[in-house]
Amino acid sequence: DAGVIQSPRHEVTEMGQEVTLRCKPISGHNSLFWYRQTMMRGLELLIYFNNNVPIDDSGMPEDRFSAKMPNASFSTLKIQPSEPRDSAVYFCASCPGTGSYNEQFFGPGTRLTVL
């Protein structure tokens, strides 16, 4: 398996623009997580899905952030409008099953820079 795939790997955009990050989980995995990593705040869970349904989005920083999972093989994280403080590495991870014991398999991350 190719593992979790994220695109783009790097994104540079200007403040105010819309940004869409994409994730393809490992085939057969039932859970998907979006994280944000910064030097200041470390690794933060933004939202996670079980069987394509959003379970907990309490980590989403504000209404400018939205996430969707239209099917089991694709998810997006959208920021509109983007701001410089959104600059971070965004990780997607998937899990086989929905239990807490399952290992999360992380993608390579998307480094977002908002100018």
Partner 1 sequence: AQTVTQSQPEMSVQEAETVTLSCTYDTSESDYYLFWYKQPPSRQMILVIRQEAYKQQNATENRFSVNFQKAAKSFSLKISDSQLGDAAMYFCAYRSANDMRFGAGTRLTVKP
Residues that bind partner 1 (CB under 8 A): 33, 42-45, 48, 56, 89, 91, 93, 100-101, 103-104, 106, 108-109
In terms of CB distance, is 36 or 86 closer to partner 1? 36
In terms of CB distance, is 1 or 103 closer to partner 1? 103
What are the DSSP calls for 31-92, one per residue?
A: EEEEEEEETTTEEEEEEEEETTEEEE-TT--STTEEEEEEETTEEEEEESS--GGG-EEEEE
In terms of CB distance, is 4 or 19 closer to partner 1? 4
Nearest C-alpha neighbor of 105 from the set 52, 9, 34, 26: 26
Least CB distance to partner 1 at residue 61 (A): 16
